[in-house]
Structure 1
Amino acid sequence: MSTLDQTRATRPTPTAKAVHSWSLFRTLGRYVALGSMPSGAIEERQEGGLPLLELPAELARHGYTSTQLCHFYLPSLETGYLEELRAAFVEAGVELECFLVDDGDLTHPVEGPAQLEWVSGWLDVAATLAPARARVVAGKQAPDATTLAHSADQLRELARRHPAVRVVTENWHALLPDAASVNELLDRTAGEVGLLVDLGNWKGPGKYAELAAVAARAETCQAKVRTSASGEVDAEDYRACLGVLRDAGYDGPLALVYDGADPDEWNRLEDAAAIVAEVFG
């Protein structure tokens, strides 16, 4: 059985409670490990919050059975620590469904080769944690035939180096601003790389059509909610985004994403989960 077949055979369904750990940034004390974000996109901080080793049990306490984990939360890359974290997820009954490498630019015109090695190192970490998938950034350069072809080559190289984990990328950053770019990139990877679709990365009135154009190719999802200034979930928009996935026959995990103004992350995630149950239930 191929890696893709294995992940499809075991992945959670849309109605199983799943969460993206970015939703719990405040719960985890806004922790960002030293040196984990070389681009500086997120400020490094190492104080307060729930220790990562305690996160699996806390997720289980709130009814979650699946999660996606940001790479920058790891306070140690020692094998012993990674094995302890993996065991904590197993003991809690929470699947580490996707490990998220949240930095790197495989298409950088100068630093591209070094960026490839940096991302590859994080996929070595993922192999120890043993998630079903690992998501990497396709690139941060504007899309054209050259950058898309180069990104596809780099992604396929990463997938071949790390056969124990299914490498996926996301409709995110400058290289993939629309469905046409996503589809061209995936076509160029010839099935060796999958798609994580993020419901919140495209904006504007055309986003539903854009999502519909890639939804059938998605094997996992960051189901991000749009929120008001006070942090309330935009239920109408969320139903519409989820409906696009449902109508495309999507049957994989929906990792809830809430990063609105309301600091009560857990309850706002419950709001999102209720809408998922309504649309997919």
Structure 2
Amino acid sequence: MDAAITLGAPLVRLFAGAIPEQTPDHDSIWVAAVSAFHRVTTYADNRGVRIGLHNHPPAVAPTGEDILRLIRDIDQPNVTVIMDTGQWHGSPGTNLQGTSDPEVDFYAYMAQVAPQTSYVRAKIYRIDSGMEEWLDYPRIVGILKAAQYDGPISIVYEDRNNQSAYPEALHLAVNHLRALL
């Protein structure tokens, strides 16, 4: 945190995954996690830095409700969301095969947190066709527009067997997202 303050960084990312329900002492682990997040966010808030909870699993991919509950329980004005489009419970980015859980609407999780999002990490996995093949970016952009999101969007390229070389894949990803925005 002190390095971010020295550099003048306005936002610091903290990973915010879920705790498996079957975990022994689930509730006490949650309380301890919230307490730790609260200490960090208080320290940051006193120095003018926002904390972005990144829905990236350290152990278990979160749902939208997991992230919103964490925000509510931390209860600090400087807490926001860093939305990672590919790291939700049930999403294709949580496994190397790119398969989604058909019983989970991970796009609904994005819609849940979009109003509190200050930064988007647009995951790109398969882009050879000129369109991301694992994630529905027309739908994701629609979610962001519905929430009136106007913040930064970064591209995070996690190559999953593309034929394109890195520079070409990045060019395809940029063009794909720009066309939707």
Q: Which TM-score tier does this pair reach, normalised by the shorter chain?
A: 0.7 to 0.9
Q: SS of the counterpart of 2:136?
A: helix
- TM-score, scaled relative to structure 1: 0.49
Whether 2:171 is the aligned partner of 1:270: answer yes
In the aligned structure 1, how far is the partner of 2:10 from the partner of 2:69? Answer: 24
Which of the numbers 29, 36, 42 marks the counterpart of 1:147?
A: 29
In the aligned structure 2, how far is the partner of 1:231 from the partner of 1:153? Answer: 46
What is the aligned-residue identity percentage? 24
User: Do the aligned partners of 1:138 and 1:155 also contact (CA within 8 Å) in 2?
Assistant: no
Unaligned runs of 5+ in 2: 92-99
Q: SS of the counterpart of 1:234?
A: coil
Whether 2:97 is the aligned partner of 1:198: answer no
Which of the numbers 2, 6, 9 marks the counterpart of 1:131?
A: 9
User: Deviation of residue 211 (structure 1)?
Assistant: 1.2
In the aligned structure 1, how far is the partner of 2:31 from the partner of 2:175? Answer: 40
What is the RMSD of the two structures over their aligned residues, measured on CA atoms?
Answer: 2.6
Q: SS of the counterpart of 1:136?
A: strand
Q: SS of the counterpart of 1:251?
A: coil
Poorly superposed stretches of 4+, deviation over 4 Å: 230-233
How do 1:1-281 residues align onto structure 2 when only pairs under 5 Å count? 123-138=1-16, 141-142=19-20, 144-162=26-44, 163-173=47-57, 174=59, 177-190=62-75, 191-202=77-88, 203=91, 204=100, 205=102, 206-227=105-126, 233-234=131-132, 237-260=136-159, 261-262=161-162, 264-280=165-181
- TM-score, scaled relative to structure 2: 0.73
In the aligned structure 2, how far is the partner of 1:126 from the partner of 1:177? Answer: 26
Query: Given residue 149 of structure 1, which amino acid in structure 2 is its aligned partner?
Result: V
Number of matched pairs: 157
Query: Given residue 73 of structure 2, which amino acid in structure 1 is its aligned partner?
Result: R
Query: Given residue 130 of structure 1, which amino acid in structure 2 is its aligned partner?
Result: G
Unaligned runs of 5+ in 1: 1-122
